[in-house]
Structure 1
Amino acid sequence: MTDDTRPSTPTAAANAAAAPATPPTRAWTGRVFIATSVDGYIARLDGDIDWLTDPPSHIAHPAALHSDGTPDYDAFLAGIDHIVMGRGTYEKVLTFDAWPYPEHPVIVLSSTLDPSTDSRVTVVATLDDAMRALDAAGAGGVYVDGGRVVQTFLRAGLIDELTITRAPVLLGEGLPLFDSMPTSRRLSLIGTSASPGGLTQATYRLA
C-alpha cells in the first residue's frame, strides 16, 4: 500500500529520538504483510500500484512453485484483530470497489485527516495515540500497513513479523518500503513461497 507522502530521510538525531532503547511494553503483536517491487518500492511516486494489480500477461514464469511456512493474505488476516495505516494507504483503500475491512477496527495515523471523515476508522495524530488506542481495545494481532507507518513502527520496536511479497518488476523510482534506521535488526526466516505470477514471498520474525 501507499502512504501519505514520499518518505524523507530522517537525521541520526531524529532516528535516535524515535527509537527507544527498550521498546514499549505491549500485549499485541505488530505484523506487516506488504508487496514491493524487486528494487524495494511499494508504489510509484504518484502512489499508483498498477505494476502489482495489473501485471503483463505475456511474461512467462515457471510453473514449479513451492510454499514453506508463509501465510497467504486470507490466512494472515485471520490472525489480525486491528489495522493501523497511514492516510495515503487509507485513501488508496477508498478507491477499491468495496471496503476490505468490515470486520476489523481500523486506525489511521495522520495529523491532517479530519477525525470525523469516516465512521469506519479512528483517526489518531501520533504513534503514542495509536498505541493507547490499541492497548485500550485489547488488541492482539495488529496489521501495520503503509510505508511510513511501517517505518515508524519499526523504529519504535513495534514490529514482530514481516511478510514481504516481491513482484517481478524493477520500478526504478517510487515510494520505498524501508528508510534509514538507528540500528541494524536481525531477522529470522520463517518461510518462503512463490506464485504462478512470479511473485516471491518471505516471512521473517524480528530477532
Structure 2
Amino acid sequence: MITGHVFIATSLDGFIARSDGDIAWLLERDDPAEDHGYDDFIADIDVIMMGRGTFEKMRAVRPWPYHRPVVVLSSTLTRSDLSEDLLDKVRVANFSPEEAMRMLQSEGHRKVYIDGGLLIQSFLKAGLIADMVITSVPVLLGEGRRLFGSIPADISLRHEQTKSFPSGLVQSHYRIEA
C-alpha cells in the first residue's frame, strides 16, 4: 500500500512562503546544530513528489539536494523544461494525485514525500496523506502562501508527538485519521 507523507515548516501564522514565494525567513532560522529529523524522515522515503512552485524554487540548487527520485506534478512543465543534469533525477507528470499515486505504486514505491503547499492541499483533499510533520517557526508573516486551504470536510488528526528546539522551532507530528 502506497502512502503520502508531509514534512514541512510554516510561520507561526500558517504560511509556508511569502506571497512572492520567498522563504528567506525560514532559512534565517535554520540552525545546522539542531537535528529536526529530516534525515531520519527522508531515509524512509522512496520517492519525492513536489509541485511546480516548489520545483521552481529548487531547480537551480546545486549540488542537487535530493538523493531520491523526484516527480514534479505540473500541467505546464514538460521534460524539455528540465536542465540536462536533472533529466535522470526528475520526472515531470501531468496527473491527478490519485493517478500519480497509482503510477508510483505500480512502480513499486511505497512511501512518498509530498512537498509543496498546493500539492499538499490537493493530496489532503484526495485522502492520500498518512501523516504530517509540521515545524512552526517563531515568526509572523501576516500574509503569504498558506499551508492549508479550504477543504470540503473536516480532516481529523491524531497528535503523535511534539518537540521543541532551543532555536524556538516547535515540531508536531500528526497522523491523519481514516
- Answer whether TM exceeds 0.5 for this pair: yes
Using the alignment, how far apart are the partners of 2:50 and 2:161 within structure 1?
25
Query: Match for 2:48 among 36, 60, 83?
Result: 83
Q: Give the residue type in structure 2 aligned to 1:73.
A: Y
TM-score by length of 2: 0.89
> Aligned match of 2:91 in 108, 119, 122?
122
Structure 2 Cα separation of the partners of residues 121 and 132 of structure 1 = 18
Structure 1 segments unaligned to the other structure (5+ residues): 1-26, 58-66
Aligned to 1:9: none
Max Rg structure: 1
3-state SS of 1:116 partner = helix
- Which structure has greater strand proportion? 2
Q: Kindly state the Cα deviation for residue 122 of structure 1 after the two structures are TM-superposed.
A: 1.2
Q: In structure 2, how many angstroms separate the alpha carbons of the residues matched to 1:55 and 1:154?
A: 27
Q: What is the Cα-based RMSD across aligned positions, in Å?
A: 2.0
Where does 1:21-40 land on structure 2 (aligned, <5 Å)?
A: 27-40=1-14
The percentage of counterpart residues that share the same residue type is 51
> How big is the shift at 1:175?
0.4
Match of 1:161 among 121, 127, 131: 131
Question: What TM-score, normalized by structure 1, do the two folds share?
Answer: 0.77
Uncovered stretches (5+) of structure 2, i.e. residues with no partner: none
Match for residue 50 of structure 1?
Answer: 24
**Alpha-carbon distance, 1:94 to partner:** 2.0
Instruction: Answer with 79-88 or 112-121: which moved more.
Output: 112-121
- Greater displacement, 75-84 / 108-117: 108-117
The answer to whether residue 109 in structure 2 is matched with residue 139 in structure 1 is yes
Moved over 3 A (4+): none
- How many pairs were matched up? 169
